[in-house]
Amino acid sequence: MKHNDELIGLAVVTCDIPEVLKEYNIKDSNMMLIDSIMIKQEYRGHHLQRQILKLLEKRARELNLDGLVTTVHPDNIYSKNNFVNSGYDIGHLALLHGGDRLVFVKKIVEKSNL
């Protein structure tokens, strides 16, 4: 994400990572894994993380994925709120990367299935 040619936010994502999803105890395999989202300090507080989440969801739909998954440190209230407010389910606490992480999942439900 850029503002006047300055990089102010970024997301690192991967797809097609069944072994990672298994580690997260997630049964679906066709998911986008959001590894990290960062907003430059002086630009925080403008809901840019939520904007990035919208873009990622759009991309996941274009790729016909079943949903998106991420993990958040339990103390990261800003990120937790943004995932919950963007429609993610708080799945479960998992021991990952050497510590506790909350696993957040958002399934993509196609209109035809509603």
Is 86 an interacting residue with respect to ligand COA (CB under 6 A)? no
Is 53 an interacting residue with respect to ligand COA (CB under 6 A)? no
Torsion-angle region of 87 (φ positive above 0: left; ψ -120 to 50: alpha; else: beta): left
Looking at 18-26, 32-40, 94-102, 105-113, which segment touches ligand COA (CB under 6 A)? 32-40
Looking at 23-31, 33-41, 53-61, 88-96, which segment touches ligand COA (CB under 6 A)? 33-41
CA distances from residue 53 to 42, 67, 91, 96, 105 in whole angstroms, order as listed: 19, 12, 18, 22, 12
Q: Which is nearer to ligand COA, 46 or 109 (CB)?
A: 46
Is 58 an interacting residue with respect to ligand COA (CB under 6 A)? no
**Distance (Å, rounded) from C-alpha 24 to C-alpha 60?**
19
Task: Using DSSP, state whether 52 is helix, strand or coil.
Answer: helix
Looking at 10-18, 23-31, 46-54, 90-98, which segment touches ligand COA (CB under 6 A)? 46-54
Of positions 26, 79, 86, 101, contacts ligand COA by CB under 6 A:
79
**Distance (Å, rounded) from C-alpha 41 to C-alpha 109?**
34
Q: At what angle do helices 48-62 and 77-85 cross, to 10 degrees?
A: 50
The site for ligand COA (CB under 6 A) is made up of 36-39, 44-49, 72, 76, 78-79, 82
